[in-house]
Amino acid sequence: MTFACSEYKICLDGIRFRGRHGVSDSERDLPQDFLVTVEVSLPIAVLPHGDHLREVFDYDRVASLVVDVGTRETCRLLETLAQRVIERVLSDTPATRVSVSVTKSRPPTASSVDSVAVELVASRSALPGDPPAADLVAGAPCSVPHDSGLSWRRCWLRAHARSSRSW
């Protein structure tokens, strides 16, 4: 049977971290548990052609980005935290669309509430100089280490200048 994939999505469900987020000082004084679900839509061009780990999108990196954003900064609102996660995922990966749900356990409310969640969805806007979606690659956006500080966009531009071939 032959088929053509029309979408490539990866969902990371249950990314956990302890962060200092909330409106009141007391919420930010002690770390609280947060649970994040991220769904990343990717260009079909990054779908692996073989069965090799080096070809696949690095979803562990996305989980690490979420934890970094959630533990490094303090936000008063869950909406702000979700926006920051989206910004980071879109700037550091070839994702074309990102959905983020941030859940906070036992929020301070007048009524008994087990948890509250905020979900935001954003799509990449094409910027001048952005690579065509077909030229985005699986895994790391280029052959530099993930911690090199290069965004996927700058890396693509740098690599594309070296070669007219797509990855």
Is 66 strand, coil or helix? helix
Domain boundaries, the chain: 8-128
Residue 122 confidence (pLDDT): 96
Residue 141 confidence (pLDDT): 38
- Supply the CATH classification number for the domain 8-128: 3.30.1130.10
Question: pLDDT 10s digit of each residue in the chain, 167 long?
Answer: 778 888 999 999 999 999 999 888 877 888 899 999 999 999 998 888 888 888 888 899 999 999 999 999 899 999 999 999 999 999 999 999 999 999 998 888 888 889 999 999 999 875 455 555 444 443 333 333 344 444 444 444 444 443 332 32
| Residues 6+ positions from 45 with CB-CB distance below 8 Å | 133, 134, 135, 136, 137, 166
Residue 156 confidence (pLDDT): 43
What are the φ/ψ torsions at residue 83 (nearest 5 degrees)?
Answer: -60, -40
Name which of 149, 145, 21 is nearest 85 in CA terms. Answer: 21
